[in-house]
Amino acid sequence: MGDMLAALSSDDYTARVEATKQLAAEGAAAIDTVKTLAMSDDPEVAWRAKTILVDIGIRGDDSTHQRIVALLNELAAAGNASFEKPGEKVVRSRTI
């Protein structure tokens, strides 16, 4: 996870984008790692992690989708302002 944190907070934009794509491509297997990254004090890392979780939730099966919605709502309830009602975005995206 240290490598992913370093890549997501890199000064190199391309490295940040590639790390984001790599984690999103891992799908449900990356959820626990991304959850930890979502609690980062670095605003960009937390934002990218949220984006990854939303992407995984949209592309995943029903079980993954439900897990992501619950996780995002849990993070929002914990007081992380960047996670204000993200579960709604996943739900809306899956119903379109």
pLDDT tens figures, 64-89: 999 999 998 888 888 765 555 555 55
Q: Note the pTM of the prediction, 2 decimals.
A: 0.80
Q: Sign (positive/negative) of CA torsion 24, 29, 32, 36? A: negative
Q: What is the pLDDT of residues 27-62, one digit of tens each?
A: 999 999 999 999 888 999 999 999 999 999 999 999
Sign of CA dihedral 45, 39, 83, 60: positive
**Beta carbons within 10 angstroms of residue 85's beta carbon:** 9
Per-residue CA distances from 69 to 9, 15, 35 (Å): 25, 28, 12
Would you state the pLDDT for residue 91? Answer: 56
**Single-letter residue type at 72:** L
Residue 27 amino acid letter: G
Q: In angstroms, rounded to a whole number, what is the distance separating the alpha carbons of residues 61 and 28?
A: 9
**pLDDT value of position 68:** 94
Closest CA to 93 of 51, 34, 43: 51
